[in-house]
Amino acid sequence: MDALAPFEIAEASVVGIHDAYRARRTTAEAVVQASLDRIEAYDRRGPQLWAVVVTNPDAIADARALDAHLAATGELIGPLHGIPVLVKDNYDVAGLQTTGGSSALIGWVPPRDATVVAKLRAAGAVIIAKTTMSEWARGGFDNINSVLPSFARNPYNTAHATGGSSGGTGSGLAASFGVVGLGSDTLGSIRNPSSNNALVGLRPSWALVSRAGMVGLYDERDTAGPMARSMEDLVALLDVIAGVDPADPATAHAEGHVEASYAPFLRADGLKGKRLGVLRQAFPPEDSDPQVVALLDRAVQDLAAAGAEIVDPFEIPEFDRFPQHMHPLSKVRFAIETYLAGTGPGFAKTLAEIVAADKFHPVHEGSLRVTAVAPEPLTDPVVLALEALEIRMREAYDAAMAAAGVDAFVLPVATYPPKLNGDRNVTPAGARTWIASSLHWPAMSVPMGYTYEDLPSGLQIVARPWSEAMLIEIAYGYEQATRHRKPPSTTPALRARP
């Protein structure tokens, strides 16, 4: 074969890469190598993003096998053939370390893939790297843990936070270390880093995507989901990972709710006929940055211009009755220790052991010590009270939506720009992701522009359970009408290898 012209991996899409494969303009090996080159250039050097815990030593071999298949058959092996994927370090990848951000699990190499990782491999994806995360997924604003010695950094402005806890996937995708990535979202850990890094990210309906083989945090709110640079790429990933899984019994609820493909809902006119409420109660002026509110106001205008009918303001009469509630500590301990029980000999099996061994980042010490002595969930009155409150919250929001006739409501992912790394007390974060998490409803984050010194901000779209198809129509219509995403200046295209 003649030498191939260099293929630019930065900002490349699934469709663009596949077109290049079919036209023999590049190979999976070249694409994977280009991704590894970007990690080498920008993760520990250059802007020092610290988004990657470990790269996959088999990535090149996996890519070569895909190239051989295409050469022999003329066909791609699956819908993610040769697509580099970033995997948050709370998902099991056979042969690669899983830590959940905790130094207590350094060296733990699971023998089996998480269900969604196995689906990725079957679809032809190449696992390029495991990405850093907030320790035990406990950090919605920045990404710091006891596994790596630094904050993960935002490539748009490296003084600022990636968002947690899927911040490594967020930073890495923004920097084109991979094309699509896996995050998990319990209280906002897909949407916060998607917003901070100018990505699209979906918190799916609870149990639309299997959590088997994933380190959990609070089962009743835990979701596994996709992150990407475009809605088209997000849908390509969602199509592969959504579905019922016997290994995660909760996914039985998804039976009959999974679309054969979500691609038909990528409609440029997807906003036409949609009635959207603007939940201004969630971002009052006294608790919001004016530049973020200005972006939201412009987004509302853009939604209307693209065909949506706007209800502004959309109000929940009982809004103040349902403030943010953190996860019950008993449930958090149960989720983490459930995963620890499956680790090998020599690894801690309880949070108490981890605390006794001082295997934690100091910033997480206080919460871990309290969580380690939490009661059993079945006897914890906090759990029963929260479950009852969330039932009433769902009833109130559903009734308000029905009364206003809205299909979905919008608000910022966060009412303030991304925080400075290390700033946990001075400036507010303003995350508003807890609303959808407490409702157990799906929510999408889509870029809505930038504030101050190139700091991304995300529009959040929330709807009732199993409404992913409609959320995709709304988000894609908005994305295509506005096209706010731009690549970060700190991670430019690399000079092609000679």
- Pairwise CA distance, residues 278 & 408, whole Å: 9
- Based on the residue annotation, tell me whether 171 is a catalytic residue of this protein: no
What was the pLDDT predicted at 56?
98
Residue 2 reports pLDDT greater than 60: no
Pick the more confident residue, 287 or 498.
287
- Pairwise CA distance, residues 476 & 144, whole Å: 32
Burial class for 273, CB neighbours closer than 10 Å (0-12, 13-18, 19+)? exposed
What is the C-alpha end-to-end distance of the chain, expressed in Å? 17
Tell me the per-residue pLDDT of 404-454, one tens digit each, with 9 for 90 and over. Answer: 999 999 999 999 999 999 898 888 899 999 999 999 999 999 999 999 999
* Set 184, 189, 457, 467: catalytic member: 189
Q: Mapping DSSP to helix (H, G, I), strand (E, B) and coil, where does residue 286 land? A: helix
Torsion-angle region of residue 229: left (phi > 0), alpha (psi -120 to 50) or beta? alpha
Residue 460 reports pLDDT greater than 60: yes
What was the pLDDT predicted at 4?
75
What was the pLDDT predicted at 3?
61
Average of per-residue pLDDT values in the chain: 97
* Set 35, 103, 165, 195: catalytic member: 165
- Based on the residue annotation, tell me whether 230 is a catalytic residue of this protein: no
What was the pLDDT predicted at 87?
99
Pick the more confident residue, 271 or 498.
271
* Set 88, 119, 274, 419: catalytic member: 88
- Based on the residue annotation, tell me whether 189 is a catalytic residue of this protein: yes
- Pairwise CA distance, residues 167 & 479, whole Å: 22
CB atoms within 10 A of CB 399: 13
What was the pLDDT predicted at 495?
83
Tell me the per-residue pLDDT of 191-205, one tens digit each, with 9 for 90 and over. Answer: 999 999 999 999 999
Residue 282 reports pLDDT greater than 50: yes
187: DSSP letter: S
- State the average pLDDT over residues 114-135: 98
- Pairwise CA distance, residues 342 & 360, whole Å: 20
Torsion, CA 472, CA 475, CA 479, CA 482, rounded to 10: 150
> How many percent of the chain have pLDDT more than 70?
99
Residue 355 reports pLDDT greater than 60: yes
Q: At what angle do helices 290-305 and 468-482 cross, to 10 degrees?
A: 100
Tell me the per-residue pLDDT of 243-274, one tens digit each, with 9 for 90 and over. Answer: 999 999 999 999 999 999 999 999 999 999 99
Give the tokens for residue 498: 């000679």
What was the pLDDT predicted at 1?
43
What lies within 8 Å, CB to CB, of 22 at 6+ separation is: 76
- Pairwise CA distance, residues 394 & 53, whole Å: 38
Torsion, CA 381, CA 387, CA 390, CA 394, rounded to 10: -160
| Rg from Cα positions in the chain | 21
Pick the more confident residue, 130 or 363.
130
What was the pLDDT predicted at 458?
98
Longest CA span, the chain: 69
Torsion-angle region of residue 310: left (phi > 0), alpha (psi -120 to 50) or beta? beta
**pLDDT band, very low/low/confident/very high, at 385 (cuts 50, 70, 90):** very high
Nearest one of 75, 87, 91 to 126, comparing CA atoms: 87
Please list the alpha-helical segments (H only) found in 214-285: 231-241
Nearest one of 138, 183, 178, 135 to 49, comparing CA atoms: 178
What was the pLDDT predicted at 141?
84
β-strands 309-311, 275-278: how paired? Answer: parallel
